[in-house]
Amino acid sequence: MNDKNNRDFFSVKQFFDKINLIFHSILALPLLVFGWLFLEAKNGRFSAVETAGMNIINFILPFLILIIIGFSFLVFKKELKKINNELPLSKKLESYLKCALMKFAGLEFALVLSVLGYYLTFTNTFVAMFMIILVFFSLSKPTPYRIVNNLQLKGEERDMVINKAEKDQSHKK
């Protein structure tokens, strides 16, 4: 392998390390807070805030959360189309990371709103919203094949992204 391919391969590894760290970090904090709130509520230590506006929160906030999820995926797709296929692989991956961060930020905001909604109401509506967002997070997990398909990589670039992941998986076994 020549020096250029080594640098590109290294950047692919750096890319996967970075995007996976960001993805799992963004997911971890709301998951911990929600789990703690859920367990405390089931033990009876917390109760819902009782105000006249709780029905409005139970009705409007889930729709707002779904709109945010849809908007984050829409922005991701729109920004993904702007990535120039003529760029070197490392630049494509940098651009992809920026697009993914926008989507992750939207999903994170939706998670925070669902945790906040659950904290205020302790209703199953926000438990369901949290689970729905987790499904969308799992659909957004950065895998080599998703990245290859989203960036429409072909040939050597495709192989570099996919083979990097396969080598990492073989070292874990």
Domain boundaries, the chain: 3-172
pLDDT at 64: 96
pLDDT at 5: 46
Q: Are 25 and 103 in contact (CB under 8 A)?
A: no
- Helix and strand numbers (H, E) in the chain are 6, 0
pLDDT at 8: 47
Q: Are 104 and 22 in contact (CB under 8 A)?
A: yes
DSSP letter (8 states) at residue 51: -
Task: Report residue 49's pLDDT band, with 50, 70 and 90 as the boundaries.
Answer: low
Query: What is the mean pLDDT of the segment spanning 152-156?
Result: 89
pLDDT at 151: 92
Residue 18 has pLDDT above 70, yes or no: yes
133: CB partners within 8 A, 6+ apart = 65, 69, 107, 110, 111, 114
Alpha carbon 57 to chain centroid, angstroms? 25
Alpha carbon 158 to chain centroid, angstroms? 22
Q: With 0.85 as the threshold, say if the pTM is over it.
A: no
